[in-house]
Structure 1
Amino acid sequence: MSGDDTTPVDWQKARELAYEAGRAAAGAAEPVALPDADGRTLAEPLRALTDLPAFPTSSIDGWAVRGPQPWRPVGRVLAGGVAPPLTDPGTCVEIATGAMVPPGADALVRVEESTRDGDGRVSGTSREIPDWRLPGEEASKGEELLPAGTAIDPAVIGVAATCGYESLAVYPRPRAGVLVFGDELLTAGAPGAGRVRDSLGPQVPGWLRRYGTTTAAAVGPVQDTLEAHISAVRGALADADLVCTTGGTMHGPVDHLHPTLAELDADYIVNTVAVRPGFPMLLARVPGPDGRPRFLAGLPGNPQSAVIALITLVAPLLAGLQGRPAPALSRVETTTKVPGRGGFTHLALARLDHDGRSATPVGHVGSAMLRGLSNAHGFVVVRPGTEAAAGDLVPFLPLPLVTGERP
C-alpha cells in the first residue's frame, strides 16, 4: 500500500487532491432522456440545434400588416401553422401569439390597439419596438448555450427541449455505500449503559444524495474484527463507486480500517488532514475489477468530524466523478471573533444572516455534537496561523442543503 504517510495534509490541498482523483476517474458519458436528466451533469456542451427562434415569431395577439392602413384582412395565422406571404399593400392577417410572422409583413399591431371600420378593415399603430422575435435572437445554430460540467436542473431541461433535444449526454450518477463501524453503537432506542446511538448511519446517505449519488441505507454496525471489516468493505465496493465508512480511522485496538485498506491494495489519496475538527479523515483509491478505481472515504466516528470529512473530501471527489467544477467557497463577514487552531485550518460552524452576507458562529460545536450542526448553514474557514476578527471577510464552506430551504 502506498501513500500511507500520516503527516496531515493542508485542508485546501486535500480538497484539491480529492477533486483531481474524482475527475480522473469520471465515467464515460451516457445518454439520458430529458425527463430523467434532472440532477445529472452535462458531459458535452449544450448547443443550439437551430436558430432560436427558428422563424420570426409574434409576441402578441393582433394583426400582421403590409403597406398603408386601413388594412384589409386576408386570413389568419395561428401558432403551429405556416404563414403564407403577405404580398399586397394594404392587407393584413390576424395573428396569434407564438405564430409565424408572414413574409412581407411590415409590422404587427396589437389587437387592443386596433379598430375595425364598417367594412371590416383594420386601423391601428404599431409600436416603435417590433412585437416579434427575430430568428437567432436568443441563440444562433451551433452556439454553445451551456458548457460541459453544468449541473442539470429543470431550467436546463427546458432549454434543451426548446432546442429540440430528446436526450442529453450526461456523466453517470455515482453509486455510494455506507458502512458503520463500532460495536458500541445502537441502531434503535435511547443510549445508555456504555452504548451510544448511531447518528451517522441514518444521516450520511442523505448528505451523499445531496451531492448527486444514488445511495442505499447504511450497513452495520460491522463487527469489530479485521475479518469482518475486510469482508464488509470488499462487498460494499463490489456495488459502489464510493464507500464511506464511519469510525476506525485511527490506530486503536479495534480500528481495523487501515489494515483493511492494506489487504485490498488500496492507495491513499489523503491520509489525515490538518483541520479541526475532523483531522483523522482519509480518502483511498481501491483497484476495481473492471480497471476503474473505486474509492473509500474514511469518516471519523465523531459525528461533526464525520460531516466535516464529507464536505472536505467527499464533496470534491463526487464533483470530479460527475464532471462538475471543483466546489468553490463564498466569502462572508464574521459577526464576532473566530479563533484559529494553530497550524490547522479551523472549520467553525456558523449560521448565515437572511441575505447570506454575514455569519455568526453557533454553540454546541464539539466534534461529538450535532446540535450545532442542525442550527448551522456551514462553516467559517479560518486558515492556519490566523484568526478572524469581527467584520473580517473569510471563506465560507456551505452544507449541501435542499433547494428552497435555509439560505
Structure 2
Amino acid sequence: MSVEPAVATDRGAGAPPVDWAQARALVYATGRADTPAPVDVPLADADGLTLAEPLRTLTDLPAFPTSSVDGWAVRGDGPWRVVGRVLAGGTPPPLTDDGTGVEIATGAMLPAGADEVLRIEESTRTADGRVAGTPRSTPEWRVPGEEAYAGEELLPAGTPVGPGVIGLAASCGYDRLRVFPAPRAALLVFGDELLTAGPPQAGRVRDALGPAVPAWLRRYGATVTPDDVIGPVEDTLPAHVTALRRALARADLVCTTGGTMHGPVDHLHPALAQLDADYVVNTVAVRPGFPMLLARITGPDGRNRYVAGLPGNPQSAIVALVSLVAPLLAALQGRPAPLLPYVTLAEPVAGRGDYTHLALVRVDPVLGTAAPVRHVGSAMLRGLARADGFAVIEPGSTGEAGARVPVVPLPLLPGVRP
C-alpha cells in the first residue's frame, strides 16, 4: 500500500479516524524522513543499535587455511616424520618433503605443502617415533573464503546489532561500527487522579503507565532515563505546555498518557496548538486504543521532534504504543518497517465493526496458533501481562476459528523489537 507522508494540520476534534494499517505506514514514512545521521561507535557500544551501512568482510573468512581438528598436518604418504609443531596464532614454515608432518592444533594455520590433516585420535606412533594413520577422505581444514570472501556483504543496513552481529564484525576485523544512534524518549504522565505509590484509595487510582511505558520504549530501542519521566503533570494548560517544552528540549519522542480527548481537563490538543504542532495522525480507527495521536514539532534548531498521545486507560495506551510508537521508533533507528507474522486463531475473536480490533492473544509457538486471553478491558492490565501480542482483526470482519490473521508481537526483552 502506497501512503503519502503528508501531515494533517487540524488542531482539534472532528478529524476522521485514520485506518489502522494506513496510520502505521504513514507514521513510518514520516519518521523515516527524520532518521538521524549515523555515528561510528566502538563494537562494545553498538549493542542494541542499528547498522547504518552494510557489514562487509574486510578479508576472506577465514583469512588463511586453518585446521578444523587437533592432529597432524602431513605431506605425501605415511608414516610421517614429525618435523615441528603448529599452534593457533603461529605462522608455520612450509612442508617441503614428502613423508613429513607437523603436529597441529585446532584453529592453527595449515602449513603450505600439507596434503592432509590426520586426526590425533585416529593416529598411532611407530617404534621409530613416526606418525601413522589414515586421514579421512574429506578435508579437515577450513579454506580461505569458506565463510565469506573479502568485500562480500554479510548483513544489510538496517540490521539490529546484537551479540551475534558484534561477534561477526569482530571476526571480520572491525573495531568500530557505523550505526544509527538510539532515539531519546521521554514520558509525561497526565492526571490529577493518579497516585505514584501505594494502593488505590479515596477516588484516586495508581499510575500504572509511568513505571511501565519507559520499559516498553526501551524494548523498542529508545533511551529513557528516570529524569525523562515527568508527572503526574498538573491538569492545567500552562502546566502541560511547560512540561512538553521541557521534555522536547532533550527528547526525540515525547509520549504522554491521558488527555487525548477534548474534555474539560484534556489539555493535550490545546497545548499542541500552542507549540505549533502538526498532526501526523489524529485519531486511529482501532479498538481498544481510541483516541491516540502522533504530532510533529519543529524545534528552534530546525530538527523535528514527535509527541505521541497515548490514552489514559492502560491497555489502550499500550495499543497506541504498538500502533504508532513502534513504527516511529523503527523509522528513527533506520530499521525496516515492522512486518507482522501470521497466526491461526484457535478460537473465535469478535470484530469491532468499522474499526480494526487488536485482541490480546497467547501464541502457541509450536502449533502457530493464537487464543484470546481474558481480562482485556481497556482499563485492565491482567490480560496484557499474560499475552504474547495482539491479533489483528480487520474492519468489517470477525476472526473465525481457523482464520489466518496478522499478530503484533509484544517484545519480551530489551532490544527485541517485533
Q: TM-score, normalised by structure 1?
A: 0.97
Q: Secondary structure at the match of 1:233?
A: helix
Match runs of 1:16-165 below 5 Å = 16-165=25-174
Q: Which residue of 2 aligns with 1:296?
A: 307
Q: Which residue of 1 aligns with 2:249?
A: 238
Q: Which residue of 2 aligns with 1:13?
A: 22
Match runs of 1:181-220 below 5 Å = 181-217=190-226, 218-220=229-231
Q: Which residue of 1 aligns with 2:9?
A: 2
Q: Deviations over 1:181-216 (max 9, x none)?
A: 111111122212221111111100000010111112
Q: Which residue of 1 aligns with 2:186?
A: 177
- Aligned length in residues: 406
Match runs of 1:296-375 below 5 Å = 296-355=307-366, 357-375=368-386
d(CA) in 2 for partners of 1:275, 1:371: 20
Range with greater deviation from structure 2 (89-98 or 137-146): 89-98
Q: Secondary structure at the match of 2:200?
A: coil
Percent identical among aligned pairs is: 68
> Is contact 1:70–1:123 with CA below 8 Å preserved after alignment?
yes
d(CA) in 2 for partners of 1:83, 1:23: 52
Q: Deviations over 1:140-197 (max 9, x none)?
A: 0000001110011101000001001111111011100000011111112221222111
Q: CA deviation at 1:112?
A: 1.1
> Is contact 2:87–2:104 with CA below 8 Å preserved after alignment?
yes
d(CA) in 2 for partners of 1:7, 1:128: 72
Q: Deviations over 1:98-143 (max 9, x none)?
A: 1110111111111111111111111111111100000000000000
> Is contact 2:50–2:159 with CA below 8 Å preserved after alignment?
yes
Q: Deviations over 1:317-343 (max 9, x none)?
A: 000000111111111111111111111
d(CA) in 2 for partners of 1:233, 1:248: 13
d(CA) in 2 for partners of 1:277, 1:286: 27
Range with greater deviation from structure 2 (43-52 or 194-203): 194-203
Q: Secondary structure at the match of 1:152?
A: coil
d(CA) in 2 for partners of 1:71, 1:189: 79
Q: CA deviation at 1:356?
A: 6.1
Q: CA deviation at 1:353?
A: 2.0
d(CA) in 1 for partners of 2:339, 2:356: 17
Q: CA deviation at 1:355?
A: 2.2
d(CA) in 2 for partners of 1:70, 1:353: 58
Q: Which residue of 2 aligns with 1:279?
A: 290
d(CA) in 1 for partners of 2:79, 2:234: 89
Q: CA deviation at 1:386?
A: 0.4
d(CA) in 1 for partners of 2:414, 2:257: 27
Equivalent residue in structure 2 for 1:392, among 390, 398, 403: 403
Q: Secondary structure at the match of 1:74?
A: strand
> Is contact 1:287–1:294 with CA below 8 Å preserved after alignment?
yes
d(CA) in 1 for partners of 2:149, 2:83: 33
Unaligned runs of 5+ in 2: 1-7
d(CA) in 2 for partners of 1:135, 1:189: 63
Question: Letter of the aligned partner of 1:266 in structure 2?
Answer: A
d(CA) in 1 for partners of 2:93, 2:10: 72
Question: Letter of the aligned partner of 2:386 in structure 1?
Answer: N
Q: CA deviation at 1:289?
A: 2.4
Unaligned runs of 5+ in 1: none
Q: Secondary structure at the match of 2:50?
A: coil
d(CA) in 1 for partners of 2:52, 2:45: 15
> Is contact 1:332–1:356 with CA below 8 Å preserved after alignment?
no
Range with greater deviation from structure 2 (326-335 or 348-357): 348-357
Question: Letter of the aligned partner of 1:188 in structure 2?
Answer: A
Tell me the C-alpha RMSD between the 2 structures.
Answer: 1.5
Q: Secondary structure at the match of 1:214?
A: coil
Q: Deviations over 1:213-234 (max 9, x none)?
A: 1112321111111111000000
Q: Which residue of 2 aligns with 1:226?
A: 237
Question: Letter of the aligned partner of 1:312 in structure 2?
Answer: S
Range with greater deviation from structure 2 (258-267 or 188-197): 188-197
Q: Secondary structure at the match of 2:336?
A: coil
Q: CA deviation at 1:354?
A: 4.7
Q: Secondary structure at the match of 2:49?
A: coil
Q: CA deviation at 1:375?
A: 1.4
d(CA) in 2 for partners of 1:396, 1:354: 13
Q: CA deviation at 1:404?
A: 12
d(CA) in 1 for partners of 2:364, 2:336: 27
Equivalent residue in structure 1 for 2:275, among 264, 270, 273: 264
> Is contact 1:18–1:313 with CA below 8 Å preserved after alignment?
yes
Q: Deviations over 1:17-55 (max 9, x none)?
A: 111122111111111111111111111111000000000
